[in-house]
A and B are shown apart, each in its own frame.
Chain A
Amino acid sequence: GAVVSQHPSRVICKSGTSVKIECRSLDFQATTMFWYRQFPKKSLMLMATSNEGSKATYEQGVEKDKFLINHASLTLSTLTVTSAHPEDSSFYICSARAEQTNTEAFFGQGTRLTVV
């Protein structure tokens, strides 16, 4: 099946710094990728839709200047958490759409971000 690789799997950063998370589709081209956020024991909340070659579409309540998304190629989308604060600590997961398949989106391994 299709593989989506997310990096890093864990990151600890200081308040005020920025962190970049990468999401790569390894064996298919993904014109669209999705970024989710998950708090402990909560479900995944869609943050934004990343479109190759155009601006990302953010869900209501998600600050686009806080969570910068870049989808510069058909295999890579990046999420940058800018000026991170402890409340940004969460599990971030990307997924990639592999055309119109019934198995829908393939998920990356997730990134555990801890802001101290």
Chain B
Amino acid sequence: GQNIDQPTEMTATEGAIVQINCTYQTSGFNGLFWYQQHAGEAPTFLSYNVLDGLEEKGRFSSFLSRSKGYSYLLLKELQMKDSASYLCAVRKTDSWGKLQFGAGTQVVVTP
């Protein structure tokens, strides 16, 4: 099995920056994904990291440290529409396509 931990909830104001941390413990690591999920909707893909370092995509960036079992998702210039749950998910080498999800971090953006 594997443990994937992320904070339950974070609150930030519009225009600010928020960093969502995710730690994991797993054998056979083969990639970490971040998804955004609005209430009652399916998750939408945000980012993918398999090598150490930072991946930047517009207002969203994701970082991975494999040796530390750590990732973060950075949301810049927060907008009200960014209020959602952010899910960290890990893929193992023996299960291409299967993802193990963390419990999700609910981000609340306030005016």
Contacts and interface: CB of A to CB of B under 8 A. Distances in A.
A95 B48 CA distance: 16
Most chain A CB within 10 A, of B40, B41, B42, B100, is at B42
B54 to A, nearest CB: 16
A42 B48 contact: no
Task: Identify whether the interface residues of A are mostly helix, strand, loop, or mixed.
Answer: strand
A32 B98 CA distance: 10
Contacts of B40: 91, 110, 112
Contacts of A97: 96-97
Contacts, number: 56
B99 A110 contact: no
B44 A44 contact: no
A13 interface: no
Interface string B24-54: 0000000101000000111111001010000
Contact of A108 (B31, B42, B50, B91): B42
A93 B46 CA distance: 18
Interface string A70-96: 000000000000000000000101010
B85 to A, nearest CB: 8
A34 B98 contact: yes
Nearest to A111: B42
Interface residues of A, number: 25
A49 interface: yes
Contacts of B60: none
A109 to B, nearest CB: 5
Contacts of B101: 43-45
B12 interface: no
Interface string A102-116: 111111111010000
24 contacts: A6-B42, A34-B97, A34-B99, A42-B103, A43-B101, A43-B102, A43-B103, A44-B43, A46-B98, A46-B99, A46-B100, A49-B98, A93-B43, A102-B31, A103-B48, A104-B33, A104-B45, A104-B91, A104-B97, A107-B42, A107-B43, A107-B44, A110-B42, A112-B40
